[in-house]
Amino acid sequence: MAALAILYILVSIVATSEAIRRDDFPSGFVFGTASSAYQFEGAAGEGNRGKSIWDTFTRRPGRILDFSNADVAVDQYHRYQSDVDLMKGMGMDAYRFSISWSRIFPNGTGEPNQEGISYYNRLIDTLLQKGIQPYVTLFHWDLPQALEDRYNGWLSQEIIKDFKHYAYTCFKAFGDRVKHWITFNEPHGFSIQGYDTGLQAPGRCSILIHMLCRRGKSSIEPYIVAHNILLSHAAAFHTYKLNFKEKQKGVIGIALDSRWYEPISGAKEDLDAANRAMEFELGWFLNPLIFGDYPLSMKNLVRSRLPRFTSDDSTSLAGSLDFLGINHYTTLYARNDRTRIRKLALNDALADALVITTSSRNGERIGERAASGWLHIVPWGIRKLMNYIKENYENPLVIITENGMDDPNFTTLDKALKDDKRIRYHADYLSNLQAAIWEDGCNVHGYFVWSLLDNWEWNSGFTVRFGLYYVDYKSNLTRIPKASVQWFKHVLEKNDTLAQKGITFKDQIG
């Protein structure tokens, strides 16, 4: 039986990888896996780490589906060396991870914690020793609780100064080896889920039907938070450019979350609605970073609740990207909200776009479901999204900083390891990405899989599995390769002659 299972996996790998190979992508195209500190590291009480807003949030009743927390997570804090070996064994070029702000500054600011700096030095050095480039995210949602307590975190402009100090400290400590920096992960998701729906930390909202929210203003606070994030990004970007770039020669980007929104019909009102959906999600952050101001649709619909940039702010923001990270998983249909009942009922930021989204049209789903209810498998969406960015934002250099799908946790080990669905997912999304590059001229230079390992997935806890490696939560967090590991090994096999020619990714973004 074991031999038959292995044969089955090998046949599946060959059948689904024939159309996708590393050599089919541009010279210097980067393949990697992605993670975040809170979801992977664990060791919550070690190394003089301070508490984050997620440590606090997970202790509130009803917030996490399986009542778990990430105090241990998948214990990468202690197992980073063997995890790096797993990446190396697959042939990955890079690892995107985040730094825990509260490991560097347990109180949010002040003097840096040397134990935290030492940990990340060890991780970075191990990656480089194995030939894997570190792509470092500065903020992946885990704000030090001390700053939340001191001045309500991202709701205060004081955060700009503290983030700038944190970024400067990281550039100084790690920038001699880290050449790819990402300031923020999914600021749209963080602003909405943390301050509109209240579903994620710090859990603020004012929606009447949400019984767990005790404070907040869903129609105002997401816009304040997003504004302060954008100004913090610009501050970090220019701090690096002024103090470090000439010597360290690194690059800075941001990782924006974006679905693709497909008009549910060809009617003008639905075409306009889909465009508004894109502007209220992607454009909310990308317009200021490219053009220095918010999209016109946001200014017209949000009006006085949308903060304004000064002329100096706009100048600082416009062009403050060396590359654009895109976290993309799924696609939805969009239609115009004619009645505006949702806006009247909820009075929140999500309703401001006057768009209703759905995963089905005429009774037919837009794509197969993954384990998470929000994740529909729609490979053509990534190609349309890349073309949208190309056509509307001057074709910036793009890296897919997250892409992946999840399976349910509640299945047999045998079924979990035969993850054909995940293989098809990556094969089909990569195929569409390849077409966007070669056929459409989109400027895409990298692809990071979410994720290397099954891990703690925010509100879902340990109920879903995104990993290429299965983590046995009941047996010492043992890492077991799924079929997708062998598939990626096959895809990423290097053609040595090809590797010898062309220019590197670093050369391309100069």
pLDDT tens-digit series, residues 141-195: 999 999 999 999 999 999 999 999 999 999 999 999 999 999 999 999 999 999 9
Beta strand pairing status for 376-377 and 368-369?
antiparallel
Encoded tokens for 289: 């970073």
Collapse the DSSP code of 28 into the 3-class scheme (helix H, G, I; strand E, B; otherwise coil) and give the result.
Answer: coil
Beta-carbon contacts of 364 under 8 Å, excluding residues fewer than 6 positions away, are: none
Residue labelled with tokens 């993670």: 35
Report the amino acid identity of residue 306: L
Per-residue confidence band for 499, with pLDDT thresholds at 50, 70 and 90: very low
**Rounded to two decimals, what is the model's pTM?**
0.94
More confident residue, 496 or 364: 364
Buried b (16+ CB within 10 A) or exposed e, 440-467: eebbbbbbbbbbbbbbbbbbbbbbbbbb
pLDDT over threshold 70, residue 477: yes
Dihedral sign for Cα atoms in the order 88, 82, 181, 381? positive
pLDDT in tens, 24-40: 999 999 999 999 999 99
Tokens read off for 393: 């934002």
- As a whole number of angstroms, the distance between CA 446 and CA 31 comes to 6
Say whether pLDDT at 502 is over 60.
no
Give CA 188 to chain center in angstroms.
10
What is the C-alpha to C-alpha distance for residues 116 and 123, in angstroms, rounded to an integer?
11
Q: What one-letter code names the amino acid at 337?
A: D
- Residue 206 clears pLDDT 80, i.e. is over it: yes
27-400+423-448 CATH, one of 3.20.20.80, 3.40.50.300, 3.90.1170.50, 3.30.413.10: 3.20.20.80
Q: Annotated active-site positions, please?
A: 186, 402
* pLDDT, average across residues 55-63: 95
The answer on pLDDT for 108 being more than 50 is yes
CA distance 236 to 114: 21
Give yes or no for a contact between 37 and 99, defined as CB atoms under 8 angstroms apart: yes
What residues does 94 pair with on adjacent strands? 32, 133
**Cα(first)–Cα(last) distance of the chain, in Å?**
53
What percent of the chain is predicted at pLDDT more than 90? Answer: 89
pLDDT of residue 5: 44
